């Protein structure tokens, strides 16, 4: 895996739950077009159970698996928040500590 000089991860997998396929695809297409992500998988059929405003809620959602770089995370988060209908959208970044070197290099080369 490629590492920077500080040995910190360069790449991230960002998770984002969306209320429907239309929202999920819109966000995915926008962030890839803006080169904030190399690839976004849209996973339908996610069933979420969560606490919201003192109640236990549930919803069918679509999950985005977004492959990006640590460097572009702040811009990515801003765009997702601007397009997402939830008051507090799920946007969680997980550092990628290892992976196929060629794939990781492709992520980096796909993002500006």
Classify residue 105: in a domain, yes or no: yes
CATH of the domain at 79: 3.30.70.120
Domain span at residue 20? 11-110
Instruction: For the chain, report the end-to-end CA distance as a whole number of angstroms.
Output: 20
Say how far apart CA 66 and CA 57 lie, in whole Å.
25
The whole-number mean pLDDT for each consecutive block of 10 residues of the chain, a chain of 112 residues, reads 60 98 98 98 97 96 98 98 97 96 95 88
Classify residue 5: in a domain, yes or no: no
Classify residue 1: in a domain, yes or no: no
Considering its fold, how many domains does the chain have in total?
A: 1
Beta-carbon-side half-sphere exposure of residue 14 (alpha carbons within 13 Å): 27
pLDDT at 9: 77
pLDDT at 112: 81
């Amino acid at each position: 895996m490629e590492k920077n000089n500080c040995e910190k991860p360069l790449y991230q997998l960002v998770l984002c739950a969306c209320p429907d396929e239309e929202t999920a695809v819109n966000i995915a297409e926008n962030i890839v077009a803006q080169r904030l992500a190399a690839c976004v998988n849209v996973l339908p059929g996610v069933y979420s159970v969560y606490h919201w405003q003192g109640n236990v809620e549930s919803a069918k959602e679509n999950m985005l698996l977004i492959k990006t770089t640590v460097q572009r995370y702040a811009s990515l988060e801003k765009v997702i928040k601007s397009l997402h209908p939830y008051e507090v959208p799920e946007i969680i970044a997980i550092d990628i500590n290892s992976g196929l070197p060629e794939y990781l290099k492709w992520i980096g080369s796909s993002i500006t």
